[in-house]
Amino acid sequence: MEQEKKLTEQESLHLITMMINKAKESYHDTGIGAIMWGAVIAICSLVRLSEVHFEYKLPFDIYLLTLVAIIPQIFISIKEKKERKVKSYDDPYLDYIWLGFGICIFLLIYISNNIFGEWGSWANEYKNLTGKSASFRFSEYVAPLFLMLYGLPTFITGAACKFKPMLWGGIFCWICCIVAIYTTVKIDLLLTAASAILAWLVPGIIMEKEYRMYKKEQA
Amino acid sequence: MFKDLDPILHSQLRLAVMSLLISVKEAEFTFLKEKTNATAGNLSVQIQKLKEVGYIDVIKQFKDNYPQTICKITPIGIRAFEEYVKNLQAYLTQK
């Protein structure tokens, strides 16, 4: 590009549009984080489903895998930040949204465990007094709350980055959230796995493919 | 009566740099070079000119022991760019 070439008004406008589009196209997430979390949540849900269905219990809680996944996520985030040559205005907001989402998930687990603990003792007392089991099962109402939360940052990220697979993934989480209110624990787990696959794993694979193509073009 | 187009911006490479920087929060020198297909020397001179008039901020630092130059549009730069686009549109509408 020549520095002092004088432009016509039309050429100027064309150049501005072209450069703005080039800047927009330069935002490429590696998709590795989305692939990892999609796979982790899907595996956890499906393993839990098999535990419930085949009536066995692993010696550890499979959801501990989500805590282990935080370690590679930290390394992925640091690496992605280092490699990024350009910072968009949305970057810090999206980082905070996902951080807030992570905090909300752990708070929800903590709250659910506490309520579940208390409700368990009430249910036992009810059974002792009446000889009947309580019809309300708290565990069946936990999945919709998680699915509701899964949808929020996914939907916002999809909308902010104009990345439709994630936008639709977020909407899918909310649809599953509504469905899960009326379904059994087994179906809830299946819906959670499906949401993780459609909201994170599949968009992550698409992002990774686009990122590889972009890198190839740059080389 | 039309205002004259800003001579600092009415130049191919400087306008390209400003158009890229208006769309992002900040960008590395290598990113600007890659997108504009300009030579490093040529781009450095134009970036210096934009810095001198206060349209952009240039931060020089080290990243993994390598020098890194980061460019960022300033509020003055944003106003100048908006004014330039406004004047440009006025010219085109008149034509």
The C-alpha atoms of residue B17 and residue B36 are separated, in whole angstroms, by: 7
What domain count does chain A have? Answer: 1
Q: What pLDDT, on a 0 to 100 scale, did the predictor assign at position A115?
A: 83
Structure confidence by residue, pLDDT tens digits, B33-69: 989 999 999 999 999 999 999 999 999 988 878 888 9
Contact between B85 and A16 using a beta-carbon 8 Å cutoff:
yes
Residue range(s) defining the domain that contains residue A98? 31-79+89-211
Inside any domain, residue A97: yes
- Residue A33 vs residues A30, A175, B26: alpha-carbon distances, Å: 8, 24, 23
How far is A147 from B58, CA to CA, in rounded Å? 44
Write down the pLDDT at residue A74. Answer: 92
Distances (CA, A) of A144 to A74, A139, A149, A218, B7: 28, 10, 9, 43, 59
Please give chain A's pLDDT, 219 residues, in tens: 655 666 788 888 899 999 988 887 777 788 999 999 999 999 999 999 999 899 888 999 898 999 999 999 999 998 888 888 888 888 889 999 999 999 999 999 888 888 877 877 887 888 888 887 766 666 667 899 999 999 999 999 999 888 999 999 999 999 999 999 999 989 999 999 999 999 999 999 999 998 898 878 776
Tokens of B67: 């020098």
Q: What is the pLDDT of residue A48?
A: 92
Spatial strand order of the sheet with A86-87 comes to A86-87, B26-28, B66-73, B56-63
H/E run at residue B73: strand B66-73
Question: Per the CB < 8 Å rule, is B11 touching A22?
Answer: no
Classify residue A26: in a domain, yes or no.
no
Chain B hits for A91, CB-CB cut-off 8 Å, are 25
Token pair for residue B35?
């997108």
Give me the pLDDT at residue A39, please.
97
Chain A partners of B11 at a C-beta cutoff of 8 Å?
3-7
Q: Does B46 touch chain A (CB under 8 A)?
A: yes
Does residue A16 belong to any structural domain of this protein? no
Instruction: Tell me, yes or no, whether A196 lies in a domain.
Output: yes
**pTM score, whole prediction:** 0.81
Q: Which of residues 4-43 of B touch A (CB under 8 A)?
A: 5, 10-16, 19-20, 22-28, 30-31, 34-38, 42
Domains along chain B with CATH numbers: 12-90 (1.10.10.10)
The pLDDT of residue A179 is 96
pLDDT value at B2 more than 70: no
